[in-house]
Amino acid sequence: MTASSAPADLPAPVDLRAARRASASQWRLMWWQFRRHRLAMISSVVLALISFVAIFCEFLAPFDPNAFTPRYTYAPPQALHFFDRNAEGGLVWSPHVNGYKVTIEPTALRRVFVVDEAQKVPVGFFVASEPYSMWGLFTLETKLFGPLNKGDPLFLLGADRLGRDMLSRIIYGTRISMSIGLIGVMLSLVLGLVLGGISGYYGGWIDNIIQRVIEFILSLPTTPLWLGLAAAMPNNWPPLQIYLCITIILSLIGWTSLARVIRGRFLSLRTEDFVTAAKLDGASERRIIFRHMAPSFVSHIIAEVSLAIPAMILAETALSFLGLGLQPPIVSWGVLLQEAQNIRSITTAPWLFAPGIAVVVAVLSLNFVGDGLRDAADPYRQS
Amino acid sequence: MVVRDPLPRMPDVKRALPAGRGAAIARIAVPSVAALCAVWLGVSAAGAADYKQAPALDALVKEGKLPAVTERLPKNPRVVTPYEKVGTYGGTWRSGMVGGSDRNWLFRIAGYEPLLAWDREWSGKVIPNLAESVTGNADATVFTIKLREGLKWSDGKPFGADDLGFFINDIAGNKELLPNGIDWVMSGGELPKFAKVDDTTFTLTFKEPYGLFPQRLASVYGVQAVMMAKHYCSQFMPAYNKDGVAELQKKAGVASWTELFIKKCAVDTEVNERWQNPERPTMEPWVIKDPYISGATLVTLVRNPYYFKVDTAGQQLPYIDDLRISVNADKQTLVLKVVNGEIDYQDRHINTNSNRAVFADALEKAKLKIVDGANADMNTTIISLNLTHKDPVKREIFNNKDFRIGLSYAIDRQAIIDAAFVGQGEPWQGAPRKESPFYNERLAKQYTEYSVAKANESLDKAYPKKDSAGFRLGPDGKRITFNVLVIPALGDFLDSTQLVVQYWQKVGVDAKMQTVDRGLFYDRKDNNDQDATVFLGSGGMVDALFEPTFYFPFWNESLFAVPWGTWFASGGKAGEEPPAPAKKQMDLYRQITRYADTAKQAELMKQILDIAADEFYVIGVSTPGGLYSVSKKNLGNVYPRPFAWTYPTPVASNTETYFFAK
């Protein structure tokens, strides 16, 4: 027998994890909790990638999203080949796509594309391109990837009805789709938090005024309001500015429901023992709100926001229907999908629906991340 | 005995007289100043005993529910020569509408029976329809109109001069119903004086010469004159039914007699009410059975047993028994229905370039055929800079002809044609088509060449200064920037405009495309609040004469100068006085409306178009390619006609002769 068991006189082993947990800050606790949500982790990586694409779209897209090529209307996607045969028949590294032979079918009035094995379009990284403006700040003449010979056809995701590269359009669409909606959501969030918080925390006459204002705003019918807005917009504004303005106005209306919920949370928390205790301890109002009360409704806010962003992305398309949303020539996922809404695209050009995949991925990722954040932020949840 | 219809080419007056044939002769003779230029057209009647009717009507006649076919037809029915061959009776024609106010599809397939009609080829000639002849005096102020004898409304009551008198005096002249009268029937701002000669003959005396009157009668607007039967519609007028109107009003649940009248008799040709009252008698080949009311999903029309036309074999028309028109939520549904073989004939809403491939793939499966027709429009994309802009700086810029010429040179029209119109069409400005009698080469082709050098040269002449981003600066030292308004729901011009704007950016003009709803578009235009607009170019064929929208400021649809157009249309009462060249054009046009002589009209029109070429009001892109219709393979007599509105397509090419081959 050897002394394999712990000597009885040694102190009981300290649970290091429990100790760390006890001393960790709230944010660190959230991060640990979040890390365990695998889907949320994967989704955050995806969201980070999407954001990267949105930020660097000019550099990442092989072409200008509005550059059109009459010869390649409705061209199907090209397959990317990485290797080529050399003269001896051996494989060599040579990324390329095959060109198309194009003929026009007279009765159907459409272009027919046949892959031309003989015509090779070499593709590479950091290729020269038409000069373009990066973030409107400086001019670049290099793209991340593209055809080595400027002007060669390259449609990895096919071309639309005007022969515009779908891949480039989706990449550019990422920026608009992921940014414009966010502005509206953020504005709603700030307004809802501040006004709902004031209303619930102080109560009394200020609560009364804010609640009556909310009721007034809620009673406005939205459709006539939108139509009125459309007519009221100065018509010499560029379309993007008009849309931005409309999202801001919509969020000026949309903050009300969030404010109501926040007010409710404040009302109920105000009377909780720990808040009274903090008050009696002489904590400042600021500390009471942000240190003691906020953590109990952060999870709710996160859930609200993570649902609002995808809703905003989807709303963009709905608004377009009234002639108020984004419209061509602006490129967003909603606009791209709207352009694909016809029998012709379904029957003969299914690749035009690729932006739909982008929407699904982005919306799912946002929802998963929101889910993970909510779980992590909820102090009452035990796992 | 059946005499061959001597239509359609009969240029010589004497030869056109079908002497010795004993046929009734219809004539339209409108003498002009230059010569007695008359169009004589003979229409023959078959022997009374030879007339045949649809089998379903045979049964009704036998049961005594309907008079015999000879009694129902007029003495000299209009004989229509079928385009392909004499057809057989029967069948249902299925087509579709989109939404709740698509009434003009019904107008376009079954609603065109004016006093005079366009010939099928739309050469610009008018032929007798309900009227046997329309004869004008030397200065085109008095017109004698002789109706076919024995015409009957769809309820069997006689149609005659009284119905036209009712239209002129009681409807058009009713200040309560129509405070402004009816524009197309007025000359010098006044309605004509109506005088009845006998039951089928009357005269109209105009205040000022109205040489275009016969063509106006044959255009879509002319339908209005024969839409309201006196015996039926007069009951809704206090003047005829003093005691009864209040009761009828209550029953219909409307507030005034004018509302009641519109509800029952429509008054206007382009309103839903025209297709909502199955009781209203008509002169059309099919009459409404299931009305086009809100919420309706299916509209049906059935054969009019009193229809006044026969084919060359003496068979009473129409061949097809009834029409079933589905009401669809959107255009794509209609496209799917066609592909599934649920539509027998359709062109409206579906005949776009991009859908063609879809139909081509379904030809065999759905047993379809594609029939091509010419397009009467002259342009796919007419861009009108607002020459009457409220902002004086923009006004100055847009009125600078060098600026407009530069913009025109900057457009690569062939590339746009290839990309947006599958190679169909030709670079073209706002000008009548080659096939039109008013073709004007200079107006059509000037500045259509693609040359960035010329564009910059011309733009440099106007505004050479540029800002740091390379955009041109206007006279006020600020960047020239403007929005081009486009309605995305209409036509194919969304794509072309998008491309045009890109070309303009390349020559330093900061133009942007803005897509707007149709209602908002009209709002902006009517208030003169737009920078620039895009629309289809109409008036490419003979209709250049009736709607010279883009050739001079003609009315409020002349998008390049709405206030000038309003000034002309209102006789100087509203809008804004235009500059001298436009006024000269307006004078010339007023002369045209006085002369009936087509040669004289063409001469004056040429002068108008020459001034239009000098002024260069609008920038065009390309002529539209042909349009097409999709129909069942076995649908006969589908004529490859021009697509237009003044000549309503397809009804003006005799839809009553469509038939299903066995």
Domains of chain A, start order: 41-55+170-376 (1.10.3720.10), 78-160 (no CATH)
Q: Is residue B15 pLDDT above 70, yes or no?
A: no
Q: Is residue B173 pLDDT above 60, yes or no?
A: yes
pLDDT reported for residue B26: 38
Environment class of B265 (CB within 10 Å of its CB; exposed 0-12, middle 13-18, buried 19+): buried
Tokens of B57: 């009507």
Q: How far apart are CA A246 and CA A187, in angstroms?
A: 12
pLDDT in tens, A267-312: 888 888 888 898 898 888 888 888 888 777 777 787 777 777 777 7
pLDDT reported for residue B577: 94
Q: How far apart are CA B116 and CA B133, in angstroms?
A: 8
**Mean pLDDT, residues B279-305 taken together:** 94
The CATH number corresponding to B379-615 among 3.30.1490.20, 3.40.50.280, 3.10.105.10, 3.30.70.20 equals 3.10.105.10
In Å, how far is B19's CA from the nearest CA of chain A?
47
Q: Is residue B41 pLDDT above 60, yes or no?
A: no
Q: Is residue B28 pLDDT above 50, yes or no?
A: no
The label of the residue with tokens 């720990």 reads A274
pLDDT reported for residue A270: 83
A314: Cα separation from own chain's centroid: 11
Q: How far apart are CA B660 and CA B636, in angstroms?
A: 6
Q: Is residue B42 pLDDT above 50, yes or no?
A: no
Q: Is residue B5 pLDDT above 70, yes or no?
A: no
| Cβ(B518)–Cβ(B488) below 8 Å | no
Beta bridge partners of residue A112, listed in sequence order:
A103
**Mean pLDDT, residues B378-391 taken together:** 95
DSSP B577: P
User: Which chain A residues touch B if contact means CB-CB below 8 Å?
Assistant: 66, 68-71, 73, 104-105, 107-111, 161-163, 230-231, 235-239, 242, 322-323, 327-329, 341-344, 347-348
pLDDT reported for residue B13: 31
Q: Is residue B265 pLDDT above 70, yes or no?
A: yes
| Helices (H), ranges, A151-293 | 166-202, 204-219, 222-232, 239-254, 256-270, 273-280, 285-287
pLDDT in tens, A227-276: 677 667 766 677 777 777 777 777 777 788 888 888 888 888 888 888 88
B419, B515, B523 ranked by CB distance to A231: nearest = B523
Comparing alpha-carbon positions, the chain A residue that sits nearest to B482 is: A236
Q: Is residue A383 pLDDT above 60, yes or no?
A: no
pLDDT reported for residue A22: 74
Q: Is residue B339 pLDDT above 90, yes or no?
A: yes
Q: What proportions of chain A, in percent to the nearest 5, are helix, strand and coil?
A: 60, 15, 25
DSSP B578: P
Question: Cα separations (Å) of A177 from A45, A137, A270, A304?
Answer: 18, 22, 39, 19
Residues of A in contact with B494 (CB under 8 A): 328
The label of the residue with tokens 């065999």 reads B364
Q: Decide if A239 and B514 are in contact by the 8 Å CB cutoff.
A: yes
Beta bridge partners of residue B93, listed in sequence order:
B323
Q: Is residue B316 pLDDT above 80, yes or no?
A: yes
Q: Decide if B335 and A73 are in contact by the 8 Å CB cutoff.
A: no
| Least-confidence region, from A242-251, B240-249, B356-365 | A242-251
Q: Is residue B521 pLDDT above 60, yes or no?
A: yes
| Helices (H), ranges, B426-552 | 441-445, 452-462, 493-506, 518-526
B419, B485, B514 ranked by CB distance to A73: nearest = B419
Q: Is residue B632 pLDDT above 90, yes or no?
A: yes
Q: Is residue B34 pLDDT above 80, yes or no?
A: no
Q: Within 13 Å and on the Cβ side, how many CA atoms surround A145?
A: 14
pLDDT reported for residue B189: 81
pLDDT reported for residue A247: 76
Band of residue B89 on the pLDDT scale cut at 50, 70, 90: very high
Q: How far apart are CA A345 and CA A355, in angstroms?
A: 13
In Å, how far is B530's CA from the nearest CA of chain A?
7
Q: How far apart are CA A141 and CA A135, in angstroms?
A: 14
| Least-confidence region, from A201-215, B35-49, B141-155 | B35-49
Q: Is residue B178 pLDDT above 60, yes or no?
A: yes
Band of residue B503 on the pLDDT scale cut at 50, 70, 90: very high
B356, B485, B516 ranked by CB distance to A109: nearest = B356
Comparing alpha-carbon positions, the chain B residue that sits nearest to A343 is: B332
**Mean pLDDT, residues B464-482 taken together:** 92
pLDDT reported for residue A379: 57
Q: How far apart are CA A5 and CA A178, in angstroms?
A: 59
Environment class of B36 (CB within 10 Å of its CB; exposed 0-12, middle 13-18, buried 19+): exposed
pLDDT reported for residue B376: 86
**Inter-chain CB pairs, A–B, below 8 Å:** 105
